[in-house]
């Protein structure tokens, strides 16, 4: 039973850190509320996540980020900031989820969480200019909303059905990797067309 709990905690931790890669604040907020309501036990080391000041602070930043990520140009600034926040959130969530049920060293848990969240955040950051360029920025709010929704689903799955959350994160990593590849290719081809057009302009 202990082994099952430990494996479930690790799989769920991957789901939570993956959710943090899409929205750094939403899983922190939900996990904090879940601990506050007694649905999960984060243990003494991470009980601060369910404290009133932490929940209020995370909720405020979550709302601001939720709105800002729907605005072209501002979303790029937030993504740059998120390159630090997402891995940190993923590290906290992974360590918190595994602190009670798993014997995983905290440092290892933090690294796994940071890498998982950071990889997913990097994929969406690379892909966002592709969405902006191909839709004139109109698609940004749609993609951002989809990311928020996926983060919510991943968080719920991580707490309720960890194995599904883990599989979903793997699929997400593969999908974002493919999209990032396409985005880089599109940007390179766009740059080449622009350079060719500039070189073809008559001189004088």
Give dist(CA 32, CA 38) in Å, integer. Answer: 10
**Long-range contacts, stretch 74-83, CB < 8 angstroms, 24+ apart:** 75/128, 75/140, 75/144, 76/128, 76/129, 79/121, 79/124, 79/125, 79/128, 80/125, 82/24, 82/121, 82/125, 83/118, 83/121, 83/122, 83/125
% of residues, the chain, pLDDT over 90 = 51
Pairwise pLDDT comparison (141 vs 90), residue with the higher score: 90
Query: Which pLDDT belongs to residue 184?
Result: 74
Q: Domain map of the chain by residue range?
A: 2-199
Q: For the chain, percent helix, then strand, then coil, each to nearest 5?
A: 85, 0, 15
Query: Which pLDDT belongs to residue 111?
Result: 96
Pairwise pLDDT comparison (204 vs 107), residue with the higher score: 107
pLDDT one-digit tens code per residue, 180-189: 777 677 767 7
Q: pLDDT tier at 202 (50, 70, 90 boundaries)?
A: low
Query: Which pLDDT belongs to residue 132?
Result: 66
Which has the minimum average pLDDT: 44-53, 65-74, 145-154, 193-202?
193-202
Pairwise pLDDT comparison (71 vs 28), residue with the higher score: 28
Q: Mean pLDDT over all residues of the chain?
A: 86
Q: pLDDT tier at 101 (50, 70, 90 boundaries)?
A: confident
Give dist(CA 194, CA 186) in Å, integer. Answer: 12
pLDDT one-digit tens code per residue, 158-182: 999 999 999 999 999 998 878 777 7
């Amino acid at each position: 039973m202990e082994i099952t709990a430990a494996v479930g905690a690790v799989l769920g931790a991957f789901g939570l850190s993956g959710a943090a890669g899409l929205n750094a604040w939403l899983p922190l907020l939900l996990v904090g509320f879940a601990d506050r309501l007694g649905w999960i036990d984060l243990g003494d080391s991470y009980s601060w996540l369910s404290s009133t000041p932490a929940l209020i602070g995370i909720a405020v930043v979550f709302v601001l980020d939720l709105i800002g990520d729907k605005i072209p140009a501002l979303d790029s600034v937030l993504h740059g900031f998120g390159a630090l926040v997402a891995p940190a959130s993923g590290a906290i969530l992974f360590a918190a989820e595994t602190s009670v049920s798993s014997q995983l060293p905290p440092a290892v848990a933090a690294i796994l969480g940071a890498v998982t969240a950071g990889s997913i955040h990097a994929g969406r950051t690379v892909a966002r200019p592709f969405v902006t360029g191909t839709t004139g920025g109109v698609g940004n709010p749609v993609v951002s909303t989809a990311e928020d929704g996926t983060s919510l689903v991943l968080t719920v799955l991580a707490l309720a059905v960890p194995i599904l959350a883990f599989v979903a994160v793997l699929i997400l990593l593969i999908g974002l990797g493919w999209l990032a590849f396409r985005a880089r290719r599109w940007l390179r081809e766009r740059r080449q067309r622009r350079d060719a057009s500039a070189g073809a302009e008559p001189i004088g």
